[in-house]
Structure 1
Amino acid sequence: MHPLLLSLSVLWLLPLALTLEEDSPLDCVPRKFILYHGVNAHLFHEDGVFNYSTMLLREDLDLLVLGAREAVYALDLNDISKKRASVKWRVTAKQKSECQNKGKDPELECKNYIRILHTMEDKRMFVCGTNAFDPECDYMSYSDGKLILEDKREDGKGKCPFDPAQRYASIMDDDNLYSATSMNFLGSEPVLMRSSPISIRTEFKSSWLNEPSFVSMAQMPESENNEDGDDDKVYLFFSEKAVECDCYNKLVVSRVARVCKGDLGGQRTLQKKWTSFLKARMDCPVLESQLPYIIQDTYLWCDPQQHWRNCLFYAIFTPQSDTSDLSAVCVFRVSDISRVFAEGKYKTPVPVETSFVKWVMYSGDIPVPRPGACINNEARKAGITQTLDLPDRTLQFVKDRPLMDQVIQPIGEKPLLVRRGATFTRIIVNQMQAADGEKYHVMFIGTEDGTLLKAVNYDGEMFIIEEIKLFQSQDPIKILKFSNVTRQLYAGSDSGAAQIPLASCERSSSCMDCVLARDPYCGWDKRLGKCVALSESQRELIQSVKEGNGSLCSNAGPIKPTNQSIWPGGNVKLSCPKPSNLAKTSWERDNRPLTPSERLQLLEDGLLILNASLSDAGRYRCLSVEHSKTDKYTTTVAEYQLTLGPAGSGKGGHIVFPQARRNGPSVTGLQVVVALLVISLLVLLAWNFYKGHLPLPWKCGKKNKQSQGSCEEEGVNSAAHYQGAQKPALAEDKFLVS
């Protein structure tokens, strides 16, 4: 590389390096990692059934309705390991054969994957499945402890995806199904559709939807206490190839689109098409990345005591290139999104000389009523009471220009969390009021490795409380749900479903451990002497979530040392498990810092002493040092009294050198056995020589005529004798030793 170019590249990368060093959010380590067997969870799985990726909470029936491959389950909401009912929905042999003839895998793709589960106003359930690449829907009810498919099948095209691997989104509102999926087998006709009462969908134009990957949908009650008389909205989050990009290879960007619930389509232009479909780009800037990050999941959080404008969308973003292993969480205000659609500029296509279309900001006159707007008080004053009354000029404008010019930025114009490691897949957020009276948003984030992160942002500081391995396999988390009734989380993957509480405070064994966990759900109860949930205690608990102030805990009493003995020249390991991933352990011997050496090796979980001598005897103490925002706190994890003498097994210490066997046979006994074996072998050899079964060595050495070539002949005779070995032999000719 040219020296000038090298210098410029170093100068260009320097700000990025400084940013990584200052913020250091990438290696945000979970304080604790909970293994699969240590999870306090209820699990559900049925042999031969996979893809537990669709969930419906029926809190009125105390049920979790779980959709899987060719099966729907009704599980106990309080303990999903208890199955109350189930129903199978399999494809027929004819459907499977037709699917296979279209080039699909008969064992994987030509199945019925349950993708849609919604509750209707009459308490029945609407369910749809891929049905061997021929989507179909039905109605389902639960009564007398049974799930019943009513066999009122209807076409699922535009409601449910054909391909089980294709992303989709849907919601049910007032028995109206809003769905975003593909209309055809090839997946080349993406659509955002309302199925009833009047079917309305998007145009099949690349300016509307350009090879999208749908993520999620949400409904916003924007008509409540609205001074303008606006309509409720349905928001759709997705990613697509950007039509406005001038690059040779189309760039993928994240989008949010919205439609009005009262939209009936146009009279002549946009008949049975959305007249209110508008979309805008969303951005989650991650460390000045050159390529935009792609949205993967969203969660709508609203405070029931506040206006809808204060609602928040938590969104997961991942890189679109394989060169990065970062994932991010960005938070968007609903009011910011709504403002862009209500007041923002439009983009318009402009043909250029190079025969391609360039999208630029539209600066001309905007028709009245505003294109893409819902019917409001201003439109009603002009005699426009429904979208069928809209003028063609307004409809043609929104048909040609559905894209907004402004990019929607997250709160603070930066991510709430950026982390290197397993890719984020799903997110859910719960609000908890801590002991300090403040309310905190706790994020539960699923990953590609099948783990669940529990994280909080304390005044700009990202803190991951724990990472939980929910399933034995490393299948990605495909769905997350939360029940306000049970205060439990529900997760689904290909291998099964899991149910866990919001907090497991009993994992903290001491006051220091409980406080340094900084978990809004947990606090230390001095009277009980254990870490408990705030919701289960009426007493004042010790908690410090913002700072992790461990000085609030009283000094723990001294730990009783464990006696450990070791032989001179032997090896021993003194165990010391770290209380958290943020702690660092150190060792003392006789109240002095221990200096590591070739014989004294510091391990991740203890101390290894090799070739012990008299000088190694003494009192060993393992200390844990953990930093928080206030100070660093040192606690004693383990203590040993090591003495030289008869080898023993102390609690926590492990002798790692071989020991002599005490209760086995003596050496004299072994010698006698060996001597008897040798004598027996000599007697058998002598017997075989006497009977002529084995030739004597000196007979081969005689040089008379009769014995010339006797060794060779004997070999031939032996071979002949072997070939005829199947004939019965006399008793005296049998070998005693083979």
Structure 2
Amino acid sequence: MHLLLSLCVVWLLPMAWTLEGNSLPRRIISYQQDNVDLFQEEGVFNYSTMLLREDLGLLVIGAREAVYAVDLHNVSIKFASVKWEATQAQTDDCGNKGKDPETECKNYIRVLHEMGDNRMYVCGTNAFDPQCDFMSYADGTLTLENKAEDGKGKCPFDPYQKFASLMVDDDLYSATSMDFLGSKSALLRSLGVSIRTDETERLLKQPNFVSLVHIPESVNSATGDDDKVYLFFSETAVEYDYYNKVVVSRVARVCKGDLGGVWRLPKKWTSFLKARLECPILESWRLAYIIQDAYRWCDPFKPWTDCLIFTIFTPQDASDLSAVCVYNMLDISRVFTEGKYKTPVTVEIKETEESFVKWVMYSGEVPFPRPGACIDDAARKANINQTLDLPDKTLLFVKEKPLMDNVIQPVGKKPSLVRKGATFTRIIVNQVQAADDRMYHVMFIGTENGTVVKAVNYDGEMFIIEELHVFKSPEAIKILRFSIVTDQLYAGSDSGVVQIPVATCDRSSTCIDCVLNRDPYCGWDKETGKCVALSQLQKKLIQSVQDGDASLCPKSAPNTPVNQSIWVGGNLKLHCTNPSIHAATIWEQDGRTLSPTGRHYFLKDDLLIINTSDSDAGLYSCLSVERSKTNEYTSTLAEYQVNVASSAIAPNVAPNDAPNDAPNDAPNDAPNDAPTVAPNVAPNVVGLYAAIALFVIAFLGLLSWNVYNGHFTCIRRNERT
């Protein structure tokens, strides 16, 4: 039994380390004020709404009770602002209804869209009484027109409730709650011909809305099809409701030209259909992962069928894995245009005389025009020129059977990225042409800890380039935007907005580090000896994003060793920072690899030598060893020439007692006749390592106890009696 326990422990730990290693970025960049441009106003919170006005050189930001116009090239520069506060009467009424007057009963700007006439449409929660208005920017001034409109159905009542909105040809599409309690929800089109979902749980049941995207399917359509608006959300599944309440991810679709029906479904969507989205994570035995964000990426030079939807999925339980699943727009469309429908069937239980509704695949006749389809050339040939002309049979079918039977799978039927750690919150994607002339989708993913993860999927291989801390304190990133004009990323949180360059090539100081970082934005310039951003004029840059082939790099010039001197019996610390988390750090003395001993301690970024002796003199090299897909590469990060001065030179000086004229912080290049005496940290280090050893022993004991008691599946459970 003890042997079995030991084998299980040995097996479990590498499994945990492997999972963590697969999700580790190559480098983690801690927060530094110089890394980002920051915008924030004292006393203002919730910078969760953004509108890029690249035509005006502006980033328009919606926050709590304020809208700001800042410089698109430097968000720390504010051009204009306008306050929009809830009135005292509205605040009091909100408080009397049980909401917090200091937080909930404020006006949170949640909707911000550009109109065709260059104005902006803005909506706020307004103390649980949503309102909308028009806003303009001219002569450096933001101006609200004070034409307050009812925001019900356009903007949520609750500032913390998830919702989605989209402006298409001056029509506002919004998916949000319709009442104060948040118990009724709808997908609604307003500003033009108003239309909404029917009030039935078959369409939306306790939904959490994520995103709305517009797909121009009418462009060059061979069938005269209409544009579509797709809604991504999660909800309680009606098809599983009899057994238990299961939350699933969905995508729904409506036609842009939908005008509703006449007698049946008047001013209601006649084209609303929905289907289930699946993002199959490795932990298939857990509850399904739920969609949290969706981003549409389309190549402007290719048809809509090549559009991709990048989504974030997170677990419903305590698992700390997040995933990115990518869906092909053509695959989604085919489910609605060619897929089977589900139909509700009433099942009676004779023993209890109870009944329940079960959803099964519909195998009967499908009427013409196809339920949920947009008006196309085939419908027009039958004198059906708009949804108002649709026959009652088609309308009744789509009203009763809005759910598709087919489940939509991601590209490759697996996630493009799975990571263990801080939960993903938002995603945005940019396409980059690398030096190999191939196009790559670079994903920028916000997390709940205020970091931005930069990642690429190279033909099925997940690779996280870096993780950047963009806020001083950990806080969830609530919105991400990207500007093609500035090549900058913008991230918003409760405390402010930051601007981040997408290319951070200068963080690599060597060719090997630049190539192994596998960043499609960056390559090594042999002429300047720098890692620089790629451009059309720099195709000869050294880059290997697919394989990380650092053998392409020229041979680097030898390092100039830094002189270090120390008394016999002193303590010496040699500094070396490895630029890659994927790499191992190795220390050598005169070409001989060092191992941890009672006097040599390997710290995170340092080698510590205590109680030095004459044998510690020599050339010390700090090496980085990193494996890519092609090979293992070793580079020298730092070199030190260490000289140990005999205590006979200064007989009155104790080994660990530095005189006042030989300070501990003497410069690294101090001459041999003025040796540096490092602080006496040996007792502290020994105590630290003793504590670590005790912790490891305790951890292994606890792990063994859990395994012995059957808490891990690697041990066969005891047979039940």
TM-score, normalization by structure 1: 0.85
In 2 relative to 1, CA 302–611 (structure 1 residues): closer, same or farther, beyond 3 Å? same
Question: Residue 64 of structure 2 aligns to which amino acid in structure 1?
Answer: R
RMSD: 2.2
1:538 CA displacement:
3.6
Conserved? CA contact 1:259–1:274, under 8 Å: yes
Question: Bigger shift: 218-227 or 234-243?
Answer: 218-227
Corresponding position of 1:102: 97
Distance across 2 between alignment mates of 1:227 and 1:19: 55
1:622 CA displacement:
1.1
Question: Residue 359 of structure 2 aligns to which amino acid in structure 1?
Answer: W
1:192 CA displacement:
0.2
- Write out per-residue CA displacement over residues 264-315 of structure 1, whole angstroms, 9 at most, x where no aligned residue: 1111011110000000000000014232110011111111111111110011
- Write out per-residue CA displacement over residues 362-408 of structure 1, whole angstroms, 9 at most, x where no aligned residue: 11121221111111111111111111111111111111111001000
Question: Residue 192 of structure 1 aligns to which amino acid in structure 2?
Answer: L
Distance across 2 between alignment mates of 1:508 and 1:524: 9
Matched, 1:386 2:386: yes
Distance across 1 between alignment mates of 2:554 and 2:370: 66
Distance across 1 between alignment mates of 2:669 and 2:356: 73
Corresponding position of 1:319: 315
- Write out per-residue CA displacement over residues 223-254 of structure 1, whole angstroms, 9 at most, x where no aligned residue: 11111111110000000000101554300000
Matched, 1:136 2:131: yes
Secondary structure, aligned partner of 2:408: coil
Corresponding position of 1:443: 443
Conserved? CA contact 1:26–1:419, under 8 Å: no
| Equivalent in 215, 220, 226 of residue 225 of structure 1 | 220
| Equivalent in 277, 299, 323 of residue 328 of structure 1 | 323
Distance across 1 between alignment mates of 2:14 and 2:589: 41
Distance across 2 between alignment mates of 1:26 and 1:266: 56
In 2 relative to 1, CA 118–556 (structure 1 residues): closer, same or farther, beyond 3 Å? same
Conserved? CA contact 1:516–1:628, under 8 Å: yes
Question: Residue 563 of structure 1 aligns to which amino acid in structure 2?
Answer: N
- Superposition pairs of residues 624-639 of structure 1, within 5 angstroms: 624-639=624-639
| Equivalent in 232, 251, 263 of residue 237 of structure 1 | 232
Distance across 2 between alignment mates of 1:48 and 1:132: 18
Distance across 2 between alignment mates of 1:250 and 1:426: 26
Secondary structure, aligned partner of 1:272: coil
- Superposition pairs of residues 41-56 of structure 1, within 5 angstroms: 41-56=36-51
- Superposition pairs of residues 595-614 of structure 1, within 5 angstroms: 595-614=595-614
Distance across 2 between alignment mates of 1:223 and 1:259: 13
Question: Residue 300 of structure 1 aligns to which amino acid in structure 2?
Answer: R
Corresponding position of 1:678: none
- Write out per-residue CA displacement over residues 67-114 of structure 1, whole angstroms, 9 at most, x where no aligned residue: 000000000111110000000001111111000000001111000000
Secondary structure, aligned partner of 1:485: coil
- Superposition pairs of residues 174-323 of structure 1, within 5 angstroms: 174-246=169-241, 248-290=243-285, 291-322=287-318
Question: Residue 479 of structure 1 aligns to which amino acid in structure 2?
Answer: I
Corresponding position of 2:679: 657
- Superposition pairs of residues 331-342 of structure 1, within 5 angstroms: 331-342=326-337
Conserved? CA contact 2:19–2:420, under 8 Å: no
Corresponding position of 1:706: none
- Which protein shows a greater Rg? 1
1:38 CA displacement:
6.5
Secondary structure, aligned partner of 2:238: coil
Conserved? CA contact 2:567–2:677, under 8 Å: no
Corresponding position of 2:56: 61
Distance across 1 between alignment mates of 2:190 and 2:63: 24
Conserved? CA contact 2:574–2:607, under 8 Å: yes
Give % identity: 65
Secondary structure, aligned partner of 1:240: strand
- Write out per-residue CA displacement over residues 623-656 of structure 1, whole angstroms, 9 at most, x where no aligned residue: 1111111111111111112222275634399854
In 2 relative to 1, CA 17–394 (structure 1 residues): closer, same or farther, beyond 3 Å? farther
Question: Residue 657 of structure 1 aligns to which amino acid in structure 2?
Answer: P
- Superposition pairs of residues 337-352 of structure 1, within 5 angstroms: 337-352=332-347
Conserved? CA contact 2:563–2:669, under 8 Å: no
Conserved? CA contact 1:239–1:294, under 8 Å: yes
Secondary structure, aligned partner of 1:238: strand
Distance across 2 between alignment mates of 1:26 and 1:359: 42
- Superposition pairs of residues 553-632 of structure 1, within 5 angstroms: 553-632=553-632
Question: Residue 309 of structure 1 aligns to which amino acid in structure 2?
Answer: T
In 2 relative to 1, CA 143–38 (structure 1 residues): closer, same or farther, beyond 3 Å? closer
Corresponding position of 2:414: 414
Distance across 2 between alignment mates of 1:38 and 1:535: 28
Corresponding position of 2:154: 159
Secondary structure, aligned partner of 2:182: coil
1:536 CA displacement:
7.8
1:579 CA displacement:
1.8
Distance across 1 between alignment mates of 2:399 and 2:679: 80
1:25 CA displacement:
7.9
Distance across 1 between alignment mates of 2:14 and 2:595: 36
Q: Which runs of 5 or more residues in structure 1 are unaligned?
A: 8-12, 660-738
Conserved? CA contact 1:26–1:326, under 8 Å: no
Corresponding position of 2:398: 398
Distance across 2 between alignment mates of 1:103 and 1:264: 39
- Superposition pairs of residues 359-370 of structure 1, within 5 angstroms: 359-370=359-370
- Superposition pairs of residues 422-501 of structure 1, within 5 angstroms: 422-501=422-501
Corresponding position of 1:121: 116
Conserved? CA contact 1:473–1:495, under 8 Å: no
- Write out per-residue CA displacement over residues 566-616 of structure 1, whole angstroms, 9 at most, x where no aligned residue: 222221211111121111111111211112211111111111111112222
Secondary structure, aligned partner of 1:281: strand
In 2 relative to 1, CA 641–402 (structure 1 residues): closer, same or farther, beyond 3 Å? same
In 2 relative to 1, CA 221–18 (structure 1 residues): closer, same or farther, beyond 3 Å? farther
- Write out per-residue CA displacement over residues 319-367 of structure 1, whole angstroms, 9 at most, x where no aligned residue: 1112x11000111111111111011111111111242211111111212
Question: Residue 222 of structure 2 aligns to which amino acid in structure 1?
Answer: E
Distance across 1 between alignment mates of 2:17 and 2:460: 13
What is the aligned length? 646
- Write out per-residue CA displacement over residues 423-449 of structure 1, whole angstroms, 9 at most, x where no aligned residue: 111111111111111111111111111
Distance across 2 between alignment mates of 1:160 and 1:284: 29
Conserved? CA contact 2:488–2:501, under 8 Å: yes
1:657 CA displacement:
2.4
In 2 relative to 1, CA 317–145 (structure 1 residues): closer, same or farther, beyond 3 Å? same
1:149 CA displacement:
0.3
In 2 relative to 1, CA 73–468 (structure 1 residues): closer, same or farther, beyond 3 Å? same
Conserved? CA contact 1:235–1:258, under 8 Å: yes
Corresponding position of 1:727: none
In 2 relative to 1, CA 101–464 (structure 1 residues): closer, same or farther, beyond 3 Å? same
Distance across 1 between alignment mates of 2:611 and 2:20: 43
Distance across 1 between alignment mates of 2:323 and 2:188: 30
Secondary structure, aligned partner of 1:36: coil
TM-score, normalization by structure 2: 0.87
Distance across 2 between alignment mates of 1:278 and 1:579: 50
1:529 CA displacement:
1.2
